[in-house]
A and B are shown apart, each in its own frame.
Chain A
Amino acid sequence: GAGVSQTPSNKVTEKGKYVELRCDPISGHTALYWYRQSLGQGPEFLIYFQGTGAADDSGLPNDRFFAVRPEGSVSTLKIQRTERGDSAVYLCASSLRGSNTGELFFGEGSRLTVL
């Protein structure tokens, strides 16, 4: 597609449930990022993929969060045993080679609400 695509756009779940959020980056972009944005704040880094491997997962808040990118294109962010504090907008971004050499382009985000 022309831009970064994220699904679902909205997800409402109950505390303790499992959630998957999907990101389809711009075609040809090797770098993929997940960010999280809470109300009234700037986006915060979660994880960065270069190709299929997670080059930096230092922003994942705890071991309930996991992300994969098995074929170097689409990525899935997985959240286990969701908590109310996980409620936020989860943003995916992609870049041709990485933000140290070029622009990041963001998707529209997946708004997660944990009841």
Chain B
Amino acid sequence: GIQVEQSPPDLILQEGANSTLRCNFSDSVNNLQWFHQNPWGQLINLFYIPSGTKQNGRLSATTVATERYSLLYISSSQTTDSGVYFCAVDPLGDYKLSFGAGTTVTVRA
């Protein structure tokens, strides 16, 4: 099956700092989503981004489908940004998301 690798596995930030999370995948995809899992376990949709660039407030994401990677940018981080960020992809010809192992982000005040 498709391989989804996220880096770094852990990230510690000071409040106000910027950061970049990366997702590499091993095959062509129909769909790519970024999620934030909060401390209560809820998976929150951040971006549906099979290609291109999107922005939502302090977060933005870019997917370069031809090079099989996606980046999630967090700017001016806040303590509420803490949690695990997951990248998930749906390979071409498939219809289910496969998740990476996640990046655990801790933002310190």
Please measure, in the bound complex, the distance between the C-alpha atom of A101 and the C-alpha atom of B93, giving whole angstroms: 11
Selected contact of A55 from candidates B45, B90, B95, B100, CB within 8 Å: B95
Interface status of A65 (Cβ within 8 A of chain B): no
Contacts of B82 on A, CB cut-off 8 Å? none
Interface status of A62 (Cβ within 8 A of chain B): no
Closest to B29 in A: A100
Residue contact A103 to B100, C-beta cutoff 8 Å: no
The answer to whether residues A45 and B43 also contact, given A101-B30, A102-B48 and a CB cut-off of 8 A, is no
Selected contact of B30 from candidates A41, A43, A91, A100, CB within 8 Å: A100
- Chain B residues bordering chain A, tally (CB within 8 A): 22
Contacts of A98 on B, CB cut-off 8 Å? 95
The answer to whether residues A108 and B41 also contact, given A103-B33, A103-B48 and a CB cut-off of 8 A, is yes
Chain A contacts with B in 54-101, Cβ cutoff 8 A: 55-56, 89, 91, 98-101
Interface status of B42 (Cβ within 8 A of chain A): yes
Interface status of A114 (Cβ within 8 A of chain B): no
Interface of B is mostly: strand
Residue contact B94 to A100, C-beta cutoff 8 Å: yes
A-B contact count (CB 8 A): 60
Residue contact A91 to B95, C-beta cutoff 8 Å: no
Selected contact of A45 from candidates B35, B97, B101, B102, CB within 8 Å: B97
Chain B contacts with A in 55-96, Cβ cutoff 8 A: 86, 88, 90, 94-96
> Range of interface residues on chain A?
20 to 34
Please measure, in the bound complex, the distance between the C-alpha atom of A104 and the C-alpha atom of B31, giving whole angstroms: 10
Interface status of B98 (Cβ within 8 A of chain A): yes
Residue contact B95 to A103, C-beta cutoff 8 Å: no
Contacts of B42 on A, CB cut-off 8 Å? 106, 108-109
Interface residues of B (CB under 8 A from A): 30-31, 33, 35, 40-43, 45, 48, 86, 88, 90, 94-102
Interface residues of A (CB under 8 A from B): 31, 33, 41-45, 48, 55-56, 89, 91, 98-106, 108-109, 111
9 contacts between A and B (CB under 8 A): A33-B96, A42-B101, A55-B95, A99-B97, A102-B31, A106-B35, A106-B42, A108-B41, A109-B42
